[in-house]
């Protein structure tokens, strides 16, 4: 391996990894080396540019902590999250589409009974959310685990607030025996992804905005069905056609209906205007997801 040059370095690296014991790892690394070296040759990458890239990735790592994942933001804003999600979640027509996970999901969100207020004090106009969870053949999916999370009216998730000692705008519920779910929260509003770090620098350098359209996150699990990770987007809102993370699907756009003060769906009397959102989910059977290439 002496006297390597720009014409021979790629094959030298490939020879070094040719005996990788794990076949999948060998395939990934081989392709990665091919594409990285081809990219560098195609753009005639300079040493200063490569150093800048290393510094950018280093800063991205330094921005990551238990409340923020800058690498997920980077993947999202480059479209890689959506591409990976789409390849691994192919489904039959009629199933609810998946979309990106996002960087603000947290483990151990509080459990709530059906009908509870998962906003838990988060700022925003009240909204009552309901729907039915079914399988592709129309059968109700009883007792599915439903995890929801969202930003408040100022565009922040609870984990973005320093010193907040409770979860807000997120929770875990269980559908009833007929697949129905219902809970209270707040109206979804557009918000910018965090852009005070290297991902924000990249967006500004490329003339892009950091905004996401208003949406509510869902993750639905039930044995025998493919886990669904998706959003429901607010119809008529801004940024539906320019989502910073490429997550919008037309089938996931729904109406947040405004109501004057009066009786809410849960029977309570509201003294201020409120909204309702109704959205049904259709899950893909696990066996179907295996045949269709989904994860």
**Is residue 271 included in any domain, yes or no?**
yes
One domain, residues 16 and 145: no
**Is residue 55 included in any domain, yes or no?**
no
pLDDT reported for residue 32: 98
How many whole angstroms separate alpha carbon 126 and alpha carbon 123? Answer: 9
> How many structural domains compose the chain?
2
**Is residue 197 included in any domain, yes or no?**
yes
One domain, residues 79 and 41: no
**Is residue 35 included in any domain, yes or no?**
yes
Expressed as residue numbers, the domain containing 156 is 71-292
pLDDT reported for residue 292: 37
pLDDT reported for residue 66: 82
One domain, residues 191 and 106: yes
One domain, residues 231 and 158: yes
pLDDT for 256 beyond 90:
yes
One domain, residues 26 and 135: no
One domain, residues 93 and 214: yes
pLDDT reported for residue 291: 37
One domain, residues 147 and 190: yes
pLDDT reported for residue 68: 85
One domain, residues 35 and 168: no
pLDDT for 288 beyond 80:
no
Beta pairing class for 126-135 and 281-283: parallel
One domain, residues 37 and 115: no
pLDDT reported for residue 289: 46
One domain, residues 38 and 148: no
pLDDT tens column, 146-155 = 999 999 999 9
**Is residue 4 included in any domain, yes or no?**
no
One domain, residues 27 and 126: no
**Is residue 57 included in any domain, yes or no?**
no
- % of residues, the chain, pLDDT over 90: 90
Predicted TM-score of the model (pTM): 0.89
**Is residue 62 included in any domain, yes or no?**
no
Mean pLDDT value of segment 185-191:
95
**Is residue 123 included in any domain, yes or no?**
yes
pLDDT reported for residue 2: 81
CATH of residue 139's domain is 2.60.130.10
Nearest to 284 by CA among 242, 199, 204, 224: 224
């Amino acid at each position: 391996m002496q006297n390597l040059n720009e014409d021979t370095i790629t094959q030298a690296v490939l020879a070094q990894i040719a005996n990788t014991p794990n076949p999948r790892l060998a395939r990934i690394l081989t392709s990665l080396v091919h594409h990285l070296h081809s990219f560098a040759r195609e753009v005639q990458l300079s040493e200063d540019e490569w150093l800048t890239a290393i510094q950018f990735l280093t800063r991205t790592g330094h921005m990551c902590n238990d409340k923020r994942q800058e690498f997920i933001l980077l993947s999202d804003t480059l479209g890689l999250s959506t591409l990976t999600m789409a390849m691994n979640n192919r489904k039959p027509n009629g199933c609810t589409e998946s979309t990106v996970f996002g960087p603000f999901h947290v483990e151990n969100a509080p459990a709530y009974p059906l009908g509870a207020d998962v906003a838990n004090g988060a700022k925003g106009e009240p909204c009552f959310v309901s729907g039915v969870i079914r399988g592709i053949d129309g059968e109700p999916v009883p007792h599915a685990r439903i995890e929801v999370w969202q930003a408040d009216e100022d565009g922040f998730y609870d984990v973005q607030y320093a010193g907040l000692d409770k979860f807000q705008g997120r929770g875990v519920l269980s559908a009833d025996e007929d697949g129905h779910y219902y809970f209270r929260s707040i109206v979804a509003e557009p918000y910018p992804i965090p852009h005070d770090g290297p991902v924000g620098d990249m967006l500004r350098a490329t003339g892009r905005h950091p905004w996401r359209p208003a949406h509510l996150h869902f993750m639905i699990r039930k044995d025998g069905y493919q886990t669904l990770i998706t959003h429901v987007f607010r119809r008529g809102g801004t940024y539906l056609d320019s989502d910073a993370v490429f997550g919008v699907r037309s089938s996931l756009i729904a109406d947040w209906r405004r109501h004057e003060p009066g009786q809410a769906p849960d029977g309570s009397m509201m003294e201020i205007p409120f909204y309702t959102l109704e959205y049904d989910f259709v899950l893909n059977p696990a066996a179907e997801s295996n045949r269709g290439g989904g994860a």
